[in-house]
Amino acid sequence: MTASRRHLVTALGLLPVAALLTGCGFQLRQAGNYAFKTLYGNFSATSPLGVELRRNLLGTGRIELWTDPKQMPQADAILDILSEERQQVIVGMNASGQIREMQLRLRVRFRLRTPQGAELIESVELSQQRDLSFSETAALSKEIEQGMMYRDMQTDIVQQIMRRLSAVKAKPVTAPKP
């Protein structure tokens, strides 16, 4: 079979797959549309969660992120990270009392509000958990694995926050009644 004929057969074989994907409404995830242009980030810019959240917010290209407290009254919305809690819970031990299994948990509470105090997203707690087997002989590698699991959970939570921020609809501004 010649090369050009092989390319033709390959292209014809991929045609039904392409038609199936376009027909089902498949579309790559895109940056959301946000009801605000400026966002004051009331969270630590040096914490791992804060760094990733900042990167995602700036990566949209649609939000201007402010961190100077003097700018807070002029922002369209304020994102408050109320708490971030990392836990390690022992869930399994062997007969001699050595740890065999742990559960890693990450909980984040946040809210979105206007500078005037109106809540756009009420206080919400997002949580993730992962199971981690443990071995005393491989403590260093388990510590590295634990760090990777926390980063994975953190990424999931940041993505959930981003989706919730994009779901906020602009509230109509009503003029005060005389």
Q: Does 4 reside within a domain? A: no
pLDDT of the residue at 175: 44
Q: Does 1 reside within a domain? A: no
Q: Does 20 reside within a domain? A: no
Q: Could you tell me which of 29, 81, 35, 40 has the C-alpha nearest to residue 62?
A: 35
- Domain assignment of residue 59, given as a range: 30-167
pLDDT of the residue at 132: 92
Q: Does 97 reside within a domain? A: yes
- The pLDDT tens digits along the chain (178 residues) read 677 777 767 767 766 766 666 666 666 556 668 999 999 999 998 999 999 999 999 998 889 999 999 999 999 999 999 999 999 998 998 888 888 899 999 999 999 999 999 999 999 999 999 999 988 788 888 899 999 999 999 999 999 999 999 999 866 544 444 5
* Cα angle 20, 25, 28; round to 5: 105
Domain count for the chain, please give it: 1
Q: Does 10 reside within a domain? A: no
Q: Could you tell me which of 60, 43, 32 has the C-alpha nearest to residue 164?
A: 32
**Domain CATH code at residue 72:** 3.30.160.150
Alpha-carbon span 122 to 126, nearest angstrom: 12
pLDDT of the residue at 1: 64
Q: Does 5 reside within a domain? A: no
Q: Does 161 reside within a domain? A: yes
Q: Does 114 reside within a domain? A: yes
Q: Is the pTM of this model over 0.85?
A: no
pLDDT of the residue at 140: 85
Which runs of E-coded beta strand occur in the chain? 38-42, 64-66, 77-93, 99-113, 119-133
pLDDT of the residue at 27: 61
